[in-house]
Structure 1
């Protein structure tokens, strides 16, 4: 894999706790942009961003239409919109139909980011109660990117990581506590 230029993360049930732990372990000098799709079911992601910011070593903000993916920032998909990464590496928002019963959809984020970043993308699937993210993670791997999946037995809800492993496989299947150290090793110069 080439030097990573971006990270995309997907989660659902149990995701807040998982993201808090993951983001607390990241090196504050991490230069890559991070885009997160977490199924929350709420009308806004303000509270999610606020809660994550209390634990994260990097700034957390809601992803905005046409905004660039900024290095060293955690961008959270807004509620009710699919979050896409354009080839210009700017965000686009879409109200297209739900994918895997979700909008935002992890698959949509991962597939668009895989096209924009190819072999410089890391895709991560964490805890969750459906199969969203499995097809997207396959696209990440087919584009030459790196796939990281939380060990299903370590996840609060194992359905999502198990589906990702079955559909896409993984370059790294790890307990949550080992994912931030892996990212720090792979992403820091």
Structure 2
């Protein structure tokens, strides 16, 4: 199995689950780039999310396992209460260290480690959310020449998260859900 060269990382909090479902719905089952999804959820909330994404999407939805390698056609969900990092060998590692931005999983942690491994081949997308988590990670992806997108704050259920990113990254693309869908479809290699 060859290493994938690109990675899409998506973060969201309040309103992010619905936004993520909308963004990912049109993607085909054979979508050519793996997607990692970090959504804030209650720490004691078990499962449910994977089943929801599995039901609504063409992609295969999996909760991330230690040492697993991201593969095309899959959306990988950060498990509750773990930070998700990407290692140099392109595998996932799970970490239960301190909360970052009051969150575990922290979007910043995943975005930063993805940019360290995939560099300019990282696409970071920050969706609706009520915290500032994700903006420094998105900025880091931008600094590593990756592509960065924030959901249009006017459309987001809670604008705090995308606004924080837009305010800290001068080159951040601002897109609504329909534009993010089109953009992701344009990246797909048939």
Give the alignment's TM-score, normalised by structure 1. Answer: 0.94
SS of aligned partner of 2:56: coil
Q: Which residue of 1 aligns with 2:112?
A: 111
1:102 CA drift (Å): 0.1
Q: Which runs of 5 or more structure 1 residues have no equivalent in the other structure?
A: none
Partner Cα separation in structure 1 for residue 5 and residue 184 of structure 2: 9
> Which aligned runs of 4 or more in structure 1 are off by greater than 3 angstroms?
none
Superposed, 1:134-173 pairs within 5 Å as 134-173=135-174
Residues 75 and 60 (structure 1), Cα distance of their counterparts in 2 relative to 1, 3 Å cut: same
CA deviation digits over 1:86-129, x for unaligned, max 9? 11110001111111000000000000000000011100000000
Q: Which residue of 2 aligns with 1:123?
A: 124
Q: Which residue of 1 aligns with 2:133?
A: 132
Q: Does 26-35 or 65-74 show the bigger shift?
A: 26-35
Q: Which residue of 1 aligns with 2:11?
A: 10
Verify the 8 A CA contact 1:149 1:170 in the aligned structure 2.
no
Residues 116 and 45 (structure 1), Cα distance of their counterparts in 2 relative to 1, 3 Å cut: farther
Give the alignment's TM-score, normalised by structure 2. Answer: 0.93
1:76 CA drift (Å): 0.3
1:186 CA drift (Å): 2.3
Partner Cα separation in structure 1 for residue 151 and residue 111 of structure 2: 16
Q: Which residue of 2 aligns with 1:34?
A: 35
Q: Which runs of 5 or more structure 2 residues have no equivalent in the other structure?
A: none
Verify the 8 A CA contact 1:62 1:75 in the aligned structure 2.
yes
Partner Cα separation in structure 1 for residue 30 and residue 152 of structure 2: 26
